């Protein structure tokens, strides 16, 4: 009797999803041959809810190691809505359990970030055999040192900062580069250091605009005619840090500020008199082919997931700890985020390099 393995990718896409899918499939076929069948579920949990799936063939997993995005398609299905029955009258959890049974799955592999892992844990608690795989360019999944997609995004964001240097210097401008990262600053911190940013602002360290402006002006006194400010999209200042989320949103709406980045740029220009521009690379950071590092990491994760399938070890998610591929219990990591701690070594590196952290 064949073992049937379902795979879905959920949430935002990122480089390395296809490489991970490939790693899982090839390792399963190598070890189990014709006794395994892989079921591709379209568009994440939405496909699991609506019964959008098909049996995949071995050849479909060839030639996708270098391909960005996901061959399965993905969609955001918020965890907070999973137990909410909307206008369509669909009980999402019941529908997922029903379709899991109809597909005759022995287990389901879920590739995604924090929200994906919370839903994966929910399904595990409902009695389904689940194995998670951690993807996100934010690198903020608890219990793993790294997620696939992160290093590629660092490379892309670093390239953006590299290219901004020449135009900033040519026009004697302050360039404010908005990097993805709503709650965690890993991507901005690493890309900022790698790209030679002069100021790095991350959500974990509320900033003072006066400190930022002093850093810009200090560079001018040193004869530097430009400054690069790397800003995580989710940053907030020391005043906002004392507010609740809704209060912060209301304050920004009242001030007509669309993003924290645009406000920072406006304030720098007003306080220093220096011409300031904003650069938003946006979804480019999630696009394109995975880096060599992420191809290797994704393959490692995929192979380890296949090993867990073979051992019938469920209710876990793959992780990398101290350069060793391992796994975490889903219930112990779901709903937790891995943020940049205040004593992290990379913050010390930044400070010792003279980088202003706000």
Q: Which residues are catalytic?
A: 138
What is the 3-class SS of 92-120, one letter each residue?
HHHHHHHHHHHCCCCEEEEEECHHHHHHH
Whether 105 and 129 have beta carbons less than 8 Å apart is answered as yes
Question: What whole-number distance in Å separates Cα of residue 38 and Cα of residue 92?
Answer: 23
287 vs 229: CA distance, rounded Å = 23
Quick one: DSSP state of residue 291? Answer: P
Phi-psi label, residue 253: left if phi above 0, alpha if psi -120 to 50, beta otherwise:
alpha
Question: ∠ at Cα 316 (312, 317), nearest 5°?
Answer: 120
Q: What residues pair up with 276 in beta bridges, in sequence order?
A: 174
How far is Cα 260 from Cα 262, in angstroms, rounded to an integer? 6
Q: Say how far apart CA 43 and CA 287 lie, in whole Å.
A: 17
Q: How far apart are CA 203 and CA 183, in angstroms?
A: 6
Q: By the 8 A CB rule, do 327 and 305 touch?
A: no
Q: Are 305 and 28 in contact (CB under 8 A)?
A: no
- Residue 282: count of CB within 10 angstroms of its CB: 12
Enter the tokens of residue 183.
Answer: 């709650």
Token pair belonging to 356: 């202003």
SS3 (DSSP) at 134: strand
């Amino acid at each position: 009797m064949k073992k049937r393995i379902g795979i879905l990718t959920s949430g935002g896409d990122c480089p390395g999803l296809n490489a991970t899918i490939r790693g899982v499939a090839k390792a399963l076929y190598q070890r189990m041959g014709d006794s395994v069948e892989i079921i591709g579920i379209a568009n994440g949990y939405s496909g699991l809810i609506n019964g959008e799936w098909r049996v995949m063939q071995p050849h479909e997993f060839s030639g996708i190691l270098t391909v960005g995005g996901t061959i399965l398609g993905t969609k955001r299905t918020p965890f907070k809505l999973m137990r909410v029955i909307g206008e369509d009258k669909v009980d999402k959890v019941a529908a997922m359990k029903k379709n899991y049974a109809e597909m005759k799955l022995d287990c389901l592999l879920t590739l995604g970030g924090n929200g994906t892992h919370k839903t994966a844990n929910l399904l595990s608690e409902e009695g389904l055999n689940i194995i998670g795989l951690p993807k996100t360019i934010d690198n903020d999944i608890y219990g793993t040192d790294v997620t696939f997609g992160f290093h590629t995004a660092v490379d892309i964001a670093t390239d953006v900062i590299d290219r901004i240097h020449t135009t900033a210097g040519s026009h004697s401008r302050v360039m404010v580069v908005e990097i993805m990262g709503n709650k965690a600053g890993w991507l901005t911190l690493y890309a900022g250091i790698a790209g030679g940013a002069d100021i790095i602002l991350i959500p974990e360290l509320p900033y003072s605009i006066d400190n930022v402006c002093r850093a810009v002006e200090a560079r001018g006194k040193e004869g530097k005619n430009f400054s690069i400010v790397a800003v995580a999209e989710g940053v907030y200042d020391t005043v906002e840090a004392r507010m609740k989320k809704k209060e912060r949103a209301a304050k920004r709406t009242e001030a007509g500020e669309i993003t924290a980045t645009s406000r920072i740029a406006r304030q720098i220009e007003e306080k220093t008199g220096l011409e300031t521009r904003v650069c938003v690379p946006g979804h480019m950071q999630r696009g394109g082919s995975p880096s060599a590092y992420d191809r290797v990491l994704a393959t490692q994760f995929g192979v380890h997931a296949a090993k867990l399938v073979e051992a019938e070890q469920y209710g876990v998610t793959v992780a990398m700890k101290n350069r060793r591929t391992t796994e975490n219990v889903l219930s112990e990591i779901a709903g937790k985020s891995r943020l940049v701690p205040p004593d992290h070594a990379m913050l010390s590196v930044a400070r010792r390099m003279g980088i202003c952290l706000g």
